[in-house]
Amino acid sequence: MLRVLRLARILRVSLRFGLDEFVLAHPRTESLNRLVNRLLFWRRLEAPRAVRLRQALEDLGPIFVKFGQVLSTRRDLLPTDIADELAKLQDQVPPFDSALAIAQIERALGQPLAKLFREFDPQPVASASIAQVHFAILHDGNEVAVKVLRPGMERAIAHDIALMETAAALIEAVWADGRRLKPRQVVAEFAKYLNDELDLMREAASASQLRRNFLDSPLLKIPEIYWDYSASTVMVMERIGGTPINQVDRLRELGVDIPQLARAGVEIFFTQVFRDGFFHADMHPGNIFVSPEGKYLAVDFGIMGTLTDVDKNYLAQNFLAFFQRDYKRVAQAHIEAGWAPRDTRVDEFEAAIRSVCEPIFDRPLREISFGKVLLRLFQTSRRFNVEIQPQLVLLQKTLLNIEGLGRELDPDLDLWTTAKPFLERWMDEQMGWRALLKQVKQEAPYWGTLLPQLPRLVHRALAADDAEVLAGRLAELTREQRRQTHFLALISLFLGGLFCLGVYWILG
- Give 466's contacts (C-beta < 8 A, 6+ positions apart): none
Q: What DSSP character marks residue 428?
A: H
Q: What DSSP character marks residue 96?
A: P
Distances in Å between the alpha carbon of 227 and those of 9, 60, 196, 218? 40, 35, 18, 25
Asked if 46 contacts 15 with a C-beta cutoff of 8 angstroms, the reply is no
Bridge partner residues of 147 (DSSP): 133, 235
The separation between CA 329 and the C-alpha centre of its own chain, rounded to angstroms, equals 26
Asked if 496 contacts 316 with a C-beta cutoff of 8 angstroms, the reply is no
Q: Which residues are catalytic?
A: 282
Asked if 393 contacts 189 with a C-beta cutoff of 8 angstroms, the reply is yes
The secondary element (H helix, E strand) that includes residue 441 is helix 433-450
Q: Where in the chain is the domain with CATH 3.30.200.20?
A: 92-154+177-240
pLDDT reported for residue 375: 55
Comparing CA positions, the residue from 95, 77, 94 lying closest to residue 86 is 77
State how far the Cα of 10 lies from the Cα of 7, in Å rounded to an integer: 5
Name the CATH superfamily, with its identifier, for domain 92-154+177-240.
Phosphorylase Kinase; domain 1 (3.30.200.20)
Asked if 191 contacts 161 with a C-beta cutoff of 8 angstroms, the reply is yes
State how far the Cα of 179 lies from the Cα of 164, in Å rounded to an integer: 16
Comparing CA positions, the residue from 339, 456, 369, 502 lying closest to residue 80 is 369
User: 126: helix, coil or strand?
Assistant: strand
Asked if 106 contacts 233 with a C-beta cutoff of 8 angstroms, the reply is no
What is the pTM (predicted TM-score) of this model? Answer: 0.69
- Taken in order 344, 345, 346, 348, is the CA torsion positive or negative? negative
Q: What DSSP character marks residue 272?
A: I
pLDDT reported for residue 484: 44
Query: 488-505 burial, b if ≥16 CB within 10 A, otherwise e?
Result: eeeeeebbbbbbbbbbbb
User: 280: helix, coil or strand?
Assistant: strand
Tens of pLDDT along the chain (508 residues) come to 555 676 777 777 877 777 766 666 556 656 666 666 666 656 667 778 788 888 888 888 777 877 787 677 555 556 777 877 887 775 556 788 999 999 999 999 999 999 999 999 999 998 877 889 999 999 999 999 999 998 888 777 777 788 778 777 777 776 655 666 667 777 887 787 778 788 999 999 999 999 999 998 999 999 999 999 999 999 999 999 899 988 889 999 999 999 999 889 888 988 898 888 899 988 777 789 999 989 999 998 988 888 777 667 666 666 667 777 888 887 876 676 566 778 888 888 889 888 877 877 666 656 666 545 655 666 676 677 766 554 455 676 677 677 777 777 887 777 667 777 777 777 777 665 666 666 666 666 766 676 676 676 666 666 655 555 556 655 665 555 554 444 334 333 333 443 343 433 344 4
User: 498: helix, coil or strand?
Assistant: helix
Comparing CA positions, the residue from 186, 501, 139 lying closest to residue 353 is 501
- Give 238's contacts (C-beta < 8 A, 6+ positions apart): 142, 143, 144, 145, 223, 224, 225, 226
State how far the Cα of 267 lies from the Cα of 261, in Å rounded to an integer: 10
Pairing of strands 131-137, 119-120: antiparallel
pLDDT reported for residue 363: 67
- Give 408's contacts (C-beta < 8 A, 6+ positions apart): 245, 246, 248, 285
Comparing CA positions, the residue from 506, 504, 508, 505 lying closest to residue 326 is 504
Bridge partner residues of 127 (DSSP): 132
pLDDT reported for residue 11: 77
